[in-house]
Amino acid sequence: MPNYLHELRNRLVNRGQQSRIRTYRIPRLWHCWEYPGQTRSAGREISVDPYDYLVQCIDRVVLPVQSGRGLGGKSLSRIEGVRTAGPLKVRDGRKNRRAGDWIRTATIYGMLVRMTTAWDHDGNGKLTSTRFTESGTFLKSILLLPLLRRMGVNVVYMLPIGRHSDLFRKGTLGCPYSAKSFTQLEPRLHDRLLSSDPSDIDLEFGAFVEAAHRLGIRVMVDLAPRTAARDNDWLLDHPEWFYWIDRRAEKSYAAPRLPGVTYNNPIPSRMHEIYAPEEVRAHLAKFRHAPSVTDPARWQRFVASARKKPPRNLVAAIAREFGVITPPGFSDVINDTQPPWSDITYLRMFLDHPAAAVKHLRNAKSQPPYVLFDVAKASLCPGRRPNRGLWNAVAGILPFYQRFGIDGARVDMAHALPKPLEEMILERPRKLDPDFCFMAEELGIQNHAKVHRAGYNVLIGPSWYMEPRPHEGLVHEFVHGCLRDLKVPALATAETPDTPRAVTRPGGRPFARAMAVLNAFLPRAVPFISSGAECLERQPMNLGLDATPRDRFALNRGDPLYGKLAFFDPFALHWSNAGAPAMVELLTRVAELRTRYVRDLAAPSNHFAPKVLVNAKRMIASGFLVDRRRGGLIAVANLDFKSARRVVLGSLPPAIRARRRVEILLHTSSQAPSCRMARGRFSATLGPGEFSLLRL
């Protein structure tokens, strides 16, 4: 097995001996371990010798935790010796459990690497240093691991880290979801502190995963297998894996409007309603066959020339030579108002048209392959001839990352993939690691049983939408409705990489703090910390969900990052926010308690829902039996962020009704509430937005 971490450490030692760099600024918040070297304070930053700081972090924090040199390239379950015990079952110690269900007791930290560890290391007010890599890197992400462990994080979920395209970008950077290559790491995540050679990126990522594992933190990656960059590397070898339109139609290309259609997804029995409008016929007329089909000999000459001297813009070169271009993608929701996705294109999942659509085409045999709502939703409207070569390539993406030892993945839009392809994507990683975990991109809970049967371990769920709406009763509905009887747990979070930040919602910082704590003590839920929540970041990363154009401008106008979105532009989190240390301290206290009681929290049979007898619309409570003789836990929060509220809880289990002593384990303000148990009922008064965790 590779020794990524030791090799990285030794190379840093050698580079440090040759380097004259001694001043390297980092956020003070990152510095949460006992560094023996010299530091210089600069406001909410410190300056260090970067090489000594990195080596000392590895030597003092990471390496001592778990002995052994052969940890590189292995998942944490393989390191711990978890074995297969049957279909979708693994033997963990002496117990059998469902494969990948370690996620049920996890706290997940979601990060966009190039943003999360970006910083102005030379202090010139910009992220454009010629001395340092000031965007985020895998190397600097190792420095973040001690902070994450302190906050109780035991799973790092990384947004796409594969090489992405710079064509058709929406900002100054390409979006990480515009996959130029599915089996190469993004070279811009390489750190110049290590070398000037971006090919060292494999070493840096492997060392990060190994360092995380030594600290008991698993690593999950993001896979978006339905789309690719419009100049994806597969284009030259497999142009038939893509769709093509006349280059002259590119400017007017968009999803056709379907007048009179009010449903979101195509219905096979009502396909005539999709294909009848003239707008759709005009849309289909824009498509062309792949250039390798229309002129095979000229295509081969073009490929040979492009390999010998790669064009700066492959898509433009093809357009000039053959008059066709890969089209931008668009939403698969009928009559969605989203504009086309300029930087990505759909991959061609079937070599024929959707079976339900053929009879509605004017001439199916002569119609070039095309993209429409039914084509994009191949799970609902499949063809009869699977594109086997593409399917095999897509199913091989996650095994590529497994050679670095990753532990799981989120599969983007898997519910829209052909069912057999989805099964391939889920099966192959588990042949290498039976305990591999999968997250389903289900934004609701109605399909929870379906995704459980498919082999997923957790779904995203609707908390990102419901939690910011306590005034509508949606927090109560999420906790006591959505989470009830789930086959797989849902994420619990008030913000995601696609939504506005929690601190910009009604209630502001008190709301963000209250939800961050409440989410750690919910049944059938996995708390999710979206990178930046710990420093009370205001600026969203993207505006894909529950957002308006105005949400883009959450920062003060004088901020150099005003209006910037991390999905498309250089961005560094505001790690020096005034409330950030207190937020980290709160998450640290939460982590200690969640770690102590996580087994009780994760067992559905332990959960009970106290009845809120006073201020039921403004107070929310959740309870867990810890021991039938020793009582349990009650988590209670005031969802009124303007006024103090009194709460009275009834319908408590006998083991708690008999208790007289109330122990406050956690309270989100400095002044703890006065609590009382009398006649089998609990009562207290909580200030605006306050949360309490109580042991009774």
Q: Is 214 in the same domain as 93?
A: yes
Structure tokens at 515: 């939800």
Coil/strand/helix, residue 245: strand
Mean pLDDT score of the chain: 94
Residue 283: pLDDT band by 50, 70, 90 thresholds?
very high
Residue 43's pLDDT is: 84
Coil/strand/helix, residue 306: helix
Q: Is 267 in the same domain as 173?
A: no
Q: Is 56 in the same domain as 164?
A: yes
What pLDDT digit, counting tens, does each position of 19-64 carry?
888 899 999 999 999 999 999 988 889 999 999 999 999 999 999 8
Mutual angle of helices 138-150 and 50-57, in 10-degree steps: 50
- Measured between its terminal Cα atoms, the distance across the chain in Å is 49
Cβ neighbours, 10 Å, residue 281: 13
Q: Is residue 415 part of a domain?
A: yes
544 phi, psi to nearest 5 deg: -85, -20
Which of 642, 651, 650, 536 has the alpha carbon at shortest distance from 582?
536
Residue 491's pLDDT is: 98
Residue 659's pLDDT is: 76
Rounded distance between C-alpha atoms, residue 182 and residue 686, angstroms: 51
Structure tokens at 195: 């070398």
Residue 130: pLDDT band by 50, 70, 90 thresholds?
confident
pLDDT over 60 at 230, yes or no: yes
Rounded distance between C-alpha atoms, residue 186 and residue 182, angstroms: 10
Boundary of a domain, candidates 536, 571, 592: 592
> Are 58 and 5 a contacting pair, CB within 8 Å?
yes
- Residue 110 CB partners (closer than 8 Å, separation 6+): 157, 158, 159, 496, 497, 528, 529, 530, 531
pLDDT over 80 at 204, yes or no: yes
- Percentage of residues in the chain having pLDDT higher than 70: 99
DSSP secondary structure letter of residue 126: S
> Are 201 and 189 a contacting pair, CB within 8 Å?
yes
Which run of H or E residues covers position 140?
A: helix 138-150
Q: Strand pairing partners for 633?
A: 624, 695
Torsion of CA 33, 219, 232, 172, to 10 degrees: -30
Q: Is 145 in the same domain as 8?
A: yes
Which of 429, 426, 438, 428 has the alpha carbon at shortest distance from 405?
429
Q: Is 219 in the same domain as 235?
A: no
Q: Is 567 in the same domain as 449?
A: yes
Cβ neighbours, 10 Å, residue 503: 24
pLDDT over 90 at 202, yes or no: yes
Coil/strand/helix, residue 184: coil
Coil/strand/helix, residue 577: coil
pLDDT over 60 at 486, yes or no: yes
Residue 527's pLDDT is: 98
Q: Is 175 in the same domain as 101?
A: yes
What pLDDT digit, counting tens, does each position of 595-609 carry?
999 988 998 889 999
Residue 588's pLDDT is: 97
Residue 355's pLDDT is: 96
> Are 688 and 638 a contacting pair, CB within 8 Å?
yes
Burial 634-648 (b: 16+ CB within 10 A, else e): bbbbbbbbeeebebb
Describe the strand order of the beta sheet including 607-608 as a list of residue ranges: 607-608, 619-627, 631-638, 691-695, 663-667
Residue 68's pLDDT is: 56
Residues 359-365: contacts with CB under 8 Å, at least 24 apart: 360/271, 360/272, 360/274, 360/275, 360/276, 361/275, 361/284, 362/281
Q: Is residue 398 part of a domain?
A: no
Rounded distance between C-alpha atoms, residue 29 and residue 532, angstroms: 12
Residue 628: pLDDT band by 50, 70, 90 thresholds?
low
What pLDDT digit, counting tens, does each position of 445-471 carry?
999 999 999 999 999 999 999 999 999
Structure tokens at 690: 């306050």
Rounded distance between C-alpha atoms, residue 609 and residue 22, angstroms: 56
Domain that holds residue 166: 4-224+404-592
Q: Is residue 33 part of a domain?
A: yes
Q: Is 69 in the same domain as 27?
A: yes
- Residue 136 CB partners (closer than 8 Å, separation 6+): 112, 113, 114, 115, 116, 117, 118, 189
Boundary of a domain, candidates 592, 619, 639: 592
Which of 279, 275, 477, 473 has the alpha carbon at shortest distance from 361?
275
Q: Strand pairing partners for 223?
A: 411
Rounded distance between C-alpha atoms, residue 117 and residue 562, angstroms: 19
Q: Is residue 150 part of a domain?
A: yes
Q: Is 46 in the same domain as 126?
A: yes
Q: Is 552 in the same domain as 499?
A: yes
The residue to which tokens 């957002």 are assigned: 547
Rounded distance between C-alpha atoms, residue 248 and residue 186, angstroms: 32
Q: Is residue 497 part of a domain?
A: yes
Q: Is residue 597 part of a domain?
A: no
pLDDT over 60 at 153, yes or no: yes
- The residue-averaged pLDDT of 102-127 equals 96
Boundary of a domain, candidates 542, 565, 592: 592
Q: Is residue 394 part of a domain?
A: no
**Quick one: how many helices (H) and strands (E) in the chain?**
22, 28
| Total domain count, the chain | 3
Cα 202 → chain centroid: 21
What pLDDT digit, counting tens, does each position of 471-480 carry?
999 999 999 9
Structure tokens at 244: 């093509």
Describe the strand order of the beta sheet including 675-678 as a list of residue ranges: 611-614, 645-650, 681-686, 675-678
What pLDDT digit, counting tens, does each position of 528-545 carry?
999 999 999 999 999 999
Q: Is residue 392 part of a domain?
A: no
Rounded distance between C-alpha atoms, residue 33 and residue 51, angstroms: 16
Q: Strand pairing partners for 679?
A: none
Residue 67's pLDDT is: 59
Residue 415: pLDDT band by 50, 70, 90 thresholds?
confident
- The residue-averaged pLDDT of 432-457 equals 95
Structure tokens at 396: 């091989």
Residue 632: which CATH number? 2.60.40.1180
Residue 22: which CATH number? 3.20.20.80
Rounded distance between C-alpha atoms, residue 446 and residue 457, angstroms: 15
pLDDT over 70 at 122, yes or no: yes
Q: Is 76 in the same domain as 180?
A: yes
Residue 608's pLDDT is: 92
Residue 70: pLDDT band by 50, 70, 90 thresholds?
low
Residue 219's pLDDT is: 98
Residue 604's pLDDT is: 87
Coil/strand/helix, residue 62: helix
Q: Is 158 in the same domain as 134?
A: yes
Rounded distance between C-alpha atoms, residue 321 and residue 314, angstroms: 11
Sign of torsion over alpha carbons 400, 404, 406, 410 = negative
- The residue-averaged pLDDT of 640-645 equals 94
Q: What is the pTM of this model?
A: 0.96
> Are 32 and 146 a contacting pair, CB within 8 Å?
yes
pLDDT over 70 at 681, yes or no: yes
Residue 144's pLDDT is: 97
Rounded distance between C-alpha atoms, residue 488 and residue 492, angstroms: 13
Residue 92's pLDDT is: 86
212 phi, psi to nearest 5 deg: -60, -45
State the Cα angle at 446 between 441 and 448, rounded to 5°. Answer: 60
Which of 181, 271, 275, 188 has the alpha carbon at shortest distance from 228?
181
